[in-house]
Amino acid sequence: MKNHVELNQLCKSYDGQTFVIEDVGVTIHEGEFFVLVGPSGCGKSTLLRMIAGLEKISAGELKLYEKIANHLSPSERELSMVFQNYALYPHLTVKENIVFGLKVRKVKKLDREARCIEAAEMLGLIPYLDRKPRELSGGQRQRVALARAVVSKTKLCLMDEPLSNLDAKLRAQMRTEIRHMQQKVGMTMVYVTHDQVEAMTMGDRIMVLRDGIVQQIGSPLAIYNNPVNRFVATFIGSPPMNVSRATIDRVNGSIYFAANQVIQLTECELKKLSGDTIFVGVRPECIGKREGMERPISLEVEVDSSELLGNETVISFSVGESVWKARWSGQWRHQQGEKISISFSQDKLFLFDCETEETLLAPSFRDEVVHLGIS
């Protein structure tokens, strides 16, 4: 398998002192759908622009197709890019927008026509080829931008939050279409998003960024099941993981949290914990009723709110000083202030270091290897 993109300790600084991107290292393989995800301002779009040649690389090495590309101009990097704002020419028709890049590169007219029809059929644009962008919906404009990337037949396509201007239903539809198109064409794709749902559903692998620093790289399930730290654990997953501070009683081998609720640890588990304070975490979907649960931890809580979403219900309640959420299948009509009993298995608990926030213990259901740094 060929390496299409290699980042070796890539850094970006605007003032020569403060790094907004620091020591990013990863290899992206041919035909892979690779997602850069993180909160706004974490540096993911800047990193994408460095790959595209739109931002200068301050330090480190970029390889494209196994050749050093640091000093290549954007036009020399053999890639296409889809932007958030579509970047269509308003005075040109859909067909003219799609083939514009080919015309600039002086591709023969018959070849341009064939490529345009092929891309338009793939993305359902045949009825709109003679329309101007102003006559199209947001989803149709985004398809035109995708078609323009497809006809270029480049090995690599970069996408910078292409679905952020669309409504929720159209975003879900376009996620499927983009993934299907990428697999059909076999194009290597680097996709930037702040939406962890997009990252989980679209990516072969994900890179989670925070303040310009790589937190974790791996498959969506590996990162969901085995987050390396508290940030990744709470960022990936919807609703986010519930986390509370707890204290360790080493004499009794116990952890106390939420008004003296006790978690018993094995001697092996206890040895992995340092210090006297940690964070405990459990995902909302792991909270349920006590029946059939192994090593259950039960709490009596007071409902803060209950959100009925049709096929599931999200219930909010306080655990100590933290607000927790439970995600239950079905429709549960709990009122604010109502007392309910909830339970979760100790085997589903995450434990995080209080200072470094690194994961100390993760649930026993994990079955994939965590990938850090270069992978």
Confidence of residue 117 (pLDDT cuts 50, 70, 90): very high
Confidence of residue 101 (pLDDT cuts 50, 70, 90): confident
Beta bridge partners of 315: 306, 326
For position 290, what pLDDT does the model report?
Answer: 67
**Phi, psi at 173, each rounded to 5°:** -65, -45
Question: In whole angstroms, what is the distance from residue 69 CA to residue 228 CA?
Answer: 31
pTM listed for this prediction = 0.88
Nearest alpha carbon to residue 155 among 269, 67, 237: 67
3-state secondary structure of 192: strand
Q: Convert the pLDDT of each residue in 143-187 to its tens digit.
A: 898 888 888 888 899 999 888 877 888 888 888 888 988 888 889
- What's the full length of the chain, in residues? 375
* Packed helices 138-151 and 109-122: angle between N→C axes, nearest 10 degrees: 130
Q: DSSP string covering 272-305, please?
A: T--SSEEEEEE-GGG-B-STT-SSEEEEEEEEEE
Confidence of residue 365 (pLDDT cuts 50, 70, 90): very low
Q: State yes or no: pLDDT of 369 exceeds 70.
A: no
Question: In whole angstroms, what is the distance from residue 279 CA to residue 324 CA?
Answer: 14
For position 292, what pLDDT does the model report?
Answer: 65
Structure tokens at 63: 């390889």
Q: State yes or no: pLDDT of 240 exceeds 70.
A: yes
Q: State yes or no: pLDDT of 375 exceeds 60.
A: no
Question: In whole angstroms, what is the distance from residue 212 CA to residue 44 CA?
Answer: 8
Question: Which domains are seen in the chain, by residue range?
Answer: 3-225 (3.40.50.300), 230-361 (2.40.50.140)
Alpha helix segments (H runs only) across 94-137: 94-104, 109-122
For position 305, what pLDDT does the model report?
Answer: 92
For position 367, what pLDDT does the model report?
Answer: 38
Q: In terms of C-beta distances under 8 Å and separation of at least 24 residues, what long-range contacts does 211-214 make, across chains too?
A: 211/42, 211/43, 212/12, 212/19, 212/20, 212/21, 212/22, 212/42, 212/43, 212/46, 213/22, 213/23, 214/23, 214/24, 214/25, 214/26, 214/373
Confidence of residue 2 (pLDDT cuts 50, 70, 90): confident
Q: State yes or no: pLDDT of 129 exceeds 90.
A: yes
Non-local CB neighbours of 269 within 8 Å, separated by 6+ positions: 361
Q: Convert the pLDDT of each residue in 261-296 to its tens digit.
A: 778 877 777 877 877 888 999 999 999 876 667 778
For position 43, what pLDDT does the model report?
Answer: 93
Q: State yes or no: pLDDT of 333 exceeds 60.
A: yes
Structure tokens at 150: 């497809």
Structure-model confidence comparison of residues 368 and 43, the more confident one = 43
Confidence of residue 372 (pLDDT cuts 50, 70, 90): very low
Q: Convert the pLDDT of each residue in 10-28 to its tens digit.
A: 999 998 888 999 999 999 9
Least confident of 55-64, 123-132, 325-334, 366-375: 366-375
* Mean per-residue pLDDT of the chain: 88
Structure-model confidence comparison of residues 60 and 370, the more confident one = 60
Confidence of residue 371 (pLDDT cuts 50, 70, 90): very low
Strands 205-210 and 350-353, how do they pair?
unpaired
Q: State yes or no: pLDDT of 314 exceeds 90.
A: yes
Q: What integer is the mean pLDDT of 200-227?
A: 94
Other residues' Cβ atoms within 10 Å of the Cβ of residue 294 = 9
Structure-model confidence comparison of residues 199 and 363, the more confident one = 199
